[in-house]
Amino acid sequence: MNPRPVGESAGAVLAELAAQGRTLAVAESLTGGLVAAELTGVPGASKVFRGSVTAYATELKRDLLGVAAPLLQERGAVDGEVARQMAAGVRRVLGADWGISTTGVAGPEPQDGQPVGTVFVAVAGPGGVQKVAALRLNGSRSDIRRESVRGVFELLAGELAGGPANEPIGNARAQDTEQNGGT
Amino acid sequence: MNPRPVGESAGAVLAELAAQGRTLAVAESLTGGLVAAELTGVPGASKVFRGSVTAYATELKRDLLGVAAPLLQERGAVDGEVARQMAAGVRRVLGADWGISTTGVAGPEPQDGQPVGTVFVAVAGPGGVQKVAALRLNGSRSDIRRESVRGVFELLAGELAGGPANEPIGNARAQDTEQNGGT
């Protein structure tokens, strides 16, 4: 119930990006503004954070972030490749060096055939860096949203440190970037 | 320090919109995701809430929300007419019945010549309804952000009730809609 660790993750990510002279954009689905809110809770965030898109309605993932329509039709919104395209899309549309994204099922009901707690987070960065992590989370809707925020900050922190996320916290599991031709 | 009232405001607004069969989109600046996060914290929010844009960098208010560039150049981002155009823009871009927005100075530093605590919130809805409220808020960065969230929910609740917000909480002050030709 202590929110401090997530806030510290936001602060650490912002400090590292500022030190590297890089900017950040965020695309959210199940977290619905929480990732952006954690970042903008840190004074001076505007040096790094350009903005965010919460694409809660599935078609906004296509219209605002450029996620491929056939992919959304075939797999629904809760999918690792959707997360990857959301991160790449928000990075491009908002003109940032790094893009991060969340999509998943916070509950209380399953969605798109996926059980509550199924979450994908992704990172897209300079030089074609792209990474997706699948999370299986337990707890309340609030718990799942908060752990998703933590998960995407951990994934980004790992990439900013120069390599794959080592020992992601909780039950995060790093995957190889999925490449499906964007369709 | 008790966040419950803001959450209750979000729930009440969502319930009223659902009862009216209407959808909602959000454009945020100083609140940086908090308005969206409060809404999506409510189970079933997806029936009403389409999504949000956090346009933290000033040029994203122009690029993503269609706020007039000369307006931003002349007055900066902390302005009632900017708030009005953000609400109207996010309503249009995200295809929602109602759009709401926040812009202002959370601190710790003044911005665009405006002191900390200067906040504008706006609502745009069906039939050309547009409303802007100017808030003068005190307290910490966190306090100012949270009271801004409350202020925009109060403004929307007043409009959904069919008229001007009566007795806005805190130091909210409803203004006539500013009409400056959009330039």
Query: In B, which residues are within 8 Å of A56 by CB distance?
Result: 40, 45-46, 49-52
pLDDT at residue B121 tops 90:
yes
The tokens describing B27, both together, are 């454009």
What global pTM score does this model have? 0.88
For residue A5, name the pLDDT band (cuts at 50, 70, 90). Answer: low
- Those residues whose C-beta lies under 8 Å from the C-beta of residue B73, and which sit 6 or more positions away, are none
pLDDT at A166: 43
Tens of pLDDT, residue by residue over A107-162, are: 999 999 999 999 999 999 999 999 999 999 999 999 999 999 999 999 999 999 98
Q: Contacts by B61-67 with C-beta closer than 8 Å and gap 24+? A: B61/B29, B61/B85, B61/B86, B61/B103, B64/A51, B64/A53, B64/A93, B64/A94, B64/B89, B64/B93, B65/B27, B65/B89, B65/B90, B65/B93, B66/B92, B66/B93
To the nearest whole Å, the CA of B164 is away from the closest chain A CA by 28
* Residues B61, B136 contacting (CB under 8 angstroms): no
How much is the pLDDT for B115? 97
% of chain B beyond a pLDDT of 70: 86
A42 vs B: CB within 8 A: no
pLDDT of residue A175: 45
Contact: A34, B39; criterion CB under 8 Å: no
- B50 closest CB neighbour out of A50, A57, A142: A57
C-alpha torsion sign, points B159, B163, B165, B167: negative
Closest residue in chain B to residue A41, using alpha carbons only: B142
Is residue A68 a contact partner of residue A85, using CB atoms and an 8 Å limit?
yes
CATH topology of domain A4-175: Maf protein (3.90.950)
In tens, the pLDDT along A39-84 reads 999 999 999 999 999 999 999 999 999 999 999 999 999 999 999 9
Query: Which residues, other chains included, contact A76 with Cβ-Cβ below 8 Å and sequence gap of 6+?
Result: A58, A82, A111, A112, A113, A114
Residue B5 has pLDDT above 90, yes or no: no
* Dihedrals phi, psi of B13, to nearest 5 degrees: -65, -45
Maximal C-alpha separation, chain A: 42
Q: What is the pLDDT of residues B27-65, one digit of tens each?
A: 999 999 999 999 999 999 999 999 999 999 999 999 999
Question: Residue B60 and residue A145: Cβ atoms within 8 Å?
Answer: no
Please tell me what DSSP assigns to residue B163.
S
> What is the SS3 assignment for B48?
coil
End-to-end Cα spacing for chain B = 40
User: What is the length of chain A?
Assistant: 183
Question: Residue B17 and residue B49: Cα distance in Å, rounded?
Answer: 9
Angle at Cα B43 formed by Cα B38 and Cα B45, nearest 5°? 65
Q: What is the mean pLDDT of residues B132-158?
A: 97
* Chain B residues whose beta carbon lies within 8 Å of the beta carbon of residue A153: none
Smallest Cβ distance to B51: which of A31, A55, A108? A55
CA distances from A166 to A148, A162, A163, B98 (A): 17, 11, 8, 44
Q: What is the largest CA-CA distance in chain B?
A: 42
